[in-house]
Amino acid sequence: MRIVAGQFRSRQIKSLRGRELRPTSDRLRETLFNVLSPVIEGSRFLDIFAGTGAIGIEALSRGAQEVVFLEKHNPAVKLIRENLAALAIVQGFRILSGDALLSLEKLAQGNGIAAPPAFDIIFLDPPYAATNEYERILQLLGSTTLLSTSAVVIAEHHHKLRLPAEAGVLRRHRFLRQGDAALSFYSSGPAPEKSSAP
* pLDDT tens series, the chain, 198 aa: 888 888 998 899 888 765 455 677 878 999 999 999 999 999 999 999 999 999 999 999 999 999 999 999 999 999 999 999 999 999 999 999 999 999 998 888 875 444 567 899 999 999 877 888 999 999 999 998 899 988 999 999 999 999 999 999 999 999 999 999 999 999 986 554 444 444
Task: Round to the nearest angstrom and report the end-to-end CA distance of the chain.
Answer: 30
Q: Is the pTM of this model over 0.95?
A: no
Angstrom CA distances, 122 to 34, 85, 131, 186, stand at 15, 23, 18, 10
The CATH number of 26-187, from 3.20.20.80, 3.40.50.150, 3.40.50.1820, 3.20.20.70, is: 3.40.50.150
Rounded CA gap, 79 and 74, in Å? 9
The residues spanned by each domain of the chain are 26-187
Phi-psi region of 184 (alpha: psi -120 to 50; beta: other; left: phi over 0): beta
